[in-house]
Amino acid sequence: MLVRAGSRTFGALLRRAAAVHAMATPDVEAAAPAAPLPAPQSAASSSSSSPPAAAPSSSRLPPAPAQVRSASPSPPLSAESNPRRKQKQTLTQRPKHEGTALPDPDVPLITPVAPVWPPPYHFDDDDGLRRVRPYHWTYNTYCKERWRGRALIDIFESEFRDRPVHYYRASMESGDIYVNGRRVGPDYIVRNGDLVSHTLHRHEPPVTADPVAIIHEDDEMIVINKPSGVPVHPAGRYKFNSVIEIMKADRGAQFMPYPCNRLDRLTSGIMFIAKSVRAAEEMGNRIKQRTVRKEYIARVVGDFPDGEVVCDQPILQISPKLGLNRVRANGKTARTVFKKLAYYPPTEQELAYIAATADDKAQQGAHDDDDTNATHVDPAAKPWLSKRGYSIVRCLPVTGRTHQIRVHLQYLGHPIQNDPIYANQRVWGFDLGQSDADGTHNTDEDVISRLSRMGKEEVAQAVVYYDEMVDKYEKRRAEKMTGELCAVCDTPLYSDPGAHELSLWLHSLRYEDAGGAWSYTSPLPKWALPPEGMAGPTTVGGMEELVDAVKDDNPEMAG
């Protein structure tokens, strides 16, 4: 397998890892006085001299550890405008930005109000989840060009819609939202160079409690089996529930992990974690020079064809903002080799559900001849209706396009069974984009419009839109409102999703050196093993048969 990893992307990974390490160094004493910020994603507000108020304990979480108070006086804040502020007023001191060296304005800043260490993890053996006790956190960002000349409340109301406008107004009046280290009102006009800060009570989503298992470790490199549903880097709603922070919690705060390859949050499997910049650069060069092969395993809809299946359809990113890709004739060259490992027919329960669904659609079509959906019940016109059961498929991406395996499987008519995007009929229609390279059934505009309605128009704190959109979709699908509010910030509380709802059935199974110097294989995930009462393979053969199925003699494949 030939994998490309541009130096720009790899360099960004190293810079991000270093920045995350710099901002998360523990400090069990009161924070030191303000000092110049040494790196991007260190925050001006990290100079706060006293920790935030601790979150109240709940039946699911242990009591918060005692906080160290600073002798420094707190600045005057308007507690009357926000009653909840009273309990924090004597504990929280606003950072002073005047005279502080600040990073490049193009770099988003994310930093805690005060050092949070050790990570406030909590485990429950009953649900198999890793949770984080809520904590206070400050987001910082410089004024964007489109914000200039606009009222502060207008910016938050139009671009950060995850909370109601009355929350933002109260936060501005109380000082939880401030500009250049000073409390300002909702009508403050934002100017070029302003540093906008927002301190909030942060609730991280739970992730699986599965450990970051070690497959191999030496003096320079750690090969891990990344759990599904856990992001690699702190981003979006995730900070401590990330691979980097989990490994630091296991090995000590001074441990500096450098991820060498990328995996989406929902994807599990092999990752290389270097112990130094030099080791990370060496592995990055190997990947860039196409001397490393990788193999994935996927669980897809229906009975996948026998033999080696080569999909060389080009892939186009139809929306950079959404990070959305699809097969299009004018896209970039891409090639993936697939081979079915096993097929498992449907259960009686699944057959009953399929029959009931087909009857409902047939009755709907019979009563509405003008309904364009009536043709969907015709198995001859819509062969995917007859797909039952699922297949376990080996996947070898010859090129390295974003979401390449997921997009090619969708195009072949066998999307990953639980893919929240590429197997979503709300986005792609009933045929899920099968063989639609010219966009006849679904125009790019239609797909983008449907997907946009699933998430925010603008993601706060410069987080990747696609991941946030998936987060929002999963929250509606997997989590349910409890009807309770957080006692500190009045945020609506959600019940924990099941651990089985935090994964994508796509697993990075194996990495190997093309010259045979080394090879690392992770265990098959549970969803790839034979179901109870059925026989099937529990191991996977060598990668040679997949490599031999396609000869990478096309120089365009390197582009």
Do 67 and 181 lie in a common domain? yes
Whether 285 is covered by a domain: the verdict is no
Range of lowest pLDDT (184-198, 237-251, 496-510): 496-510
Domain end position, chosen among 206, 227, 247:
206
Q: Mean pLDDT over residues 147-172, rounded? A: 91
The predicted model scores a pTM of 0.66
Question: Where residue 410 sits, what CATH number does that domain have?
Answer: 3.30.2350.10
Residue 551: pLDDT band (50, 70, 90) is low
Residue 125: pLDDT band (50, 70, 90) is confident
- Tell the burial category of 261 from Cβ atoms under 10 Å away from its Cβ (0-12, 13-18, 19+): buried
Whether 529 is covered by a domain: the verdict is yes
Do 158 and 307 lie in a common domain? no
Do 63 and 194 lie in a common domain? yes
Whether 479 is covered by a domain: the verdict is no
Please tell me the total count of domains within the chain: 2
Residue scoring higher pLDDT (31 or 538): 538
Do 425 and 294 lie in a common domain? yes
Which residue among 176, 194, 210, 264 is the active-site one?
Answer: 264
Q: Measured between alpha carbons, how far is 246 from 283 in angstroms, rounded to an integer? A: 22
User: What pLDDT is attached to residue 527?
Assistant: 94
- What type of residue is 68? V
Average pLDDT, the chain: 72
User: What pLDDT is attached to residue 430?
Assistant: 54
Domain end position, chosen among 206, 234, 262:
206
Residue 382: pLDDT band (50, 70, 90) is very low
User: What pLDDT is attached to residue 184?
Assistant: 92
The parent domain of residue 172 ranges over 8-124+134-206
Whether 546 is covered by a domain: the verdict is yes
Q: Mean pLDDT over residues 370-398, rounded? A: 61
How far apart are the two ends of the chain, measured CA to CA in Å? 15
Whether 92 is covered by a domain: the verdict is yes
State yes or no: pLDDT of 403 exceeds 80: yes
Q: Which of 397, 415, 432, 431 is nearest to 312 (CA)?
A: 397
Q: What is the dihedral of CA 299, 305, 308, 312, to 10 degrees?
A: -80
Residue scoring higher pLDDT (163 or 376): 163
Residue scoring higher pLDDT (288 or 414): 414
State yes or no: pLDDT of 358 exceeds 70: no
- Asked if 27 is an active-site residue, the reply is no
Do 310 and 202 lie in a common domain? no
Do 168 and 304 lie in a common domain? no
Residue scoring higher pLDDT (463 or 64): 64
Q: Measured between alpha carbons, how far is 157 from 486 in angstroms, rounded to an integer? A: 22
Residue 494 pairs in a beta bridge with 481
User: What pLDDT is attached to residue 432?
Assistant: 54
Q: Which residues of 488-527 are buried (b: 16+ CB within 10 A; e: fewer)?
A: bbebeebebbebeebbbbbbbbbbbeeeeeeebbbebbeb
